[in-house]
Structure 1
Amino acid sequence: MTLIARTRARAVETLALDAPQRRNALSAALVGELADALTDAGRDTGVRAVVLTHTGTTFSAGADLKDPPDPEALVALLRRIVELPKPVVARVTGHVRAGGLGLLAACDIAVASTAATFAFTEVRIGVAPAVISLPLLSRANPRALSRHYLTGERFDAAEATATGLLTAYAEDVDTALAPILDGLRRAAPDALAETKRLLTARVLEAFDREAADLTALSARLFASPQAREGMTAFLERRDPAWVV
């Protein structure tokens, strides 16, 4: 069963996370298939830009707790989005949690509908937003991230835009995306690639500098007793033992 739906229109390749029954959680299989689809799009001279979107009511619920990806594989996926020689545009009409926010931060442009909601839920299950910090800390407002990282609160598209997680939000996301995609279609392919390289240089510096340490941190936290309790509590739909 395919987990990534691919369509193309006027040189824009759309990759849709297509595991709605799992809330498009980042399983090992989904991460691998998305990485392959991005590689194909990057090599295809007929592709001018990539739209990353989803089926169902959730863009991504974060890591799949039953089949989590290896942290190194998630780092490689995020880096592939950042390094892709084509602009990657996130189209969000549903909820985004935890690791899903890393996908948004890795994209060059991110647009969401007013129905979208966001939350860094890692601390509530005993882990930290470690690997996804590689693109996030380079692009988002540090003061706003402090609150969202530390509390796990849910916030809306207006707040996500102010924080720097989104480029824009609108009631009709496709209407908001139309001029963006038109602009990308009018741009010269080589110029787009070099301009993206300018924009992502500092993000890639963070990957080079911090990826190994953050990957190790993620692996250590996911293997911790608190993470086991937090994940068990989440699956059992109860509060973890530390809630007061």
Structure 2
Amino acid sequence: MSEAPVPEVRYDVVDGVAVLTLDAPSRRNALSVAMAGELAAAVARADGDPAVGAVVVTGGPHFCAGAERSVLADAGEDPVEDGRYRALGAVYEAFTRVGTATVPTVAAVRGAAVGAGLNLALATDLRVVSRTARLLPGFAQIGIHPGGGHFTLLHRAAGREAAAAMGVFGEEVDGERAAALGMAWAAVDDADVEGTAMALASRVARDPALARHLVASFRRETAPGGVPWDVAVELERSPQMWSLRRRRTP
């Protein structure tokens, strides 16, 4: 009997926060198809648990080195062959699923976030990075076009100039520069990254139901293009009325 594969995404819940830890250090957490599926399933698990009010995504000392090279190589041989097309799509789903989690999400980034790994970090609602973290697209450097909505994610986080510098011209930024650009909320010492991320996540996770309403409104109102103020007032009215009524309910 063959042994079951060793999980490459650890799932733990601490103080209402689901901690999703990428755990494939031998390849610096590069996303394989199987690992991407595990990550998407872990987000779904957090979504389905009403006691979870936030998610922290981390990779320990190596956040994520992008998509596993074999996935890219296979896609390059025949990009529209069904199996290979689906394989690359599974990698995309790893970070698009994080971006559509029903709870607030925080990335705790140490080491490098490259290509799809940078997409994963940028898919979260908030990022805490090590001062020495390396954030870089890495696509053009290996001769391929960015994927996974990379330009949109960069532009949303840091604006057009940074999206051009990184996505087109291949610039790399460290954690301190990322925070200065608005790509991260805080750049801290390496040893403090996960602790800072957990402190932020656990604060909102104290009230999981409210956390889900908060992040839904936040994403609607800050989506690319935004919404007019009067529309935002109406968007917020329903969840605010729910929260006020809930406070009066024994």
TM-score, structure 2 normalization: 0.74
Matches within 5 A, 1:44-193: 44-55=49-60, 57-68=61-72, 70-133=87-150, 134-171=152-189, 172-177=192-197, 179-186=199-206, 188-193=207-212
Secondary structure, counterpart of 1:79 in structure 2: helix
**Closer, same or farther: CA 180–46 of 1 in aligned 2, 3 Å:** same
Contact 2:51 2:208 in 1 (8 A): no
Q: 1:39 to 1:205 in 2, by over 3 A?
A: farther
**How far apart, CA to CA, are the structure 2 residues paired with 1:195 and 1:27?**
32
5+ long unaligned stretches in structure 1: 207-244
Give 1:204 deviation, angstroms.
6.6
Cα distance per residue 1:167-201 (max 9 Å; x no partner): 21111224533541342133x32322122112223
State how far apart, in whole Å, the 1-side matches of 2:149 and 2:112 are.
Answer: 17
Query: What fraction of aligned residue pairs are identical, expressed as a percent?
Result: 30
Superposed displacement of residue 101, structure 1? 0.8
Distance 2:99 2:30 in 1: 20
* Equivalent in the alignment of 1:24: 29
Matched letter for residue 173 of structure 1: V
1:196 aligns with 2:212: no
Moved over 4 A (4+): 202-206
Structure 2, unpaired ranges of 5+: 1-5, 73-85, 226-250
Q: Work out the number of aligned pairs and report it.
A: 204
Candidates 14, 17, 40, aligned match of 1:35? 40
Aligned-residue Cα RMSD (Å) equals 2.2
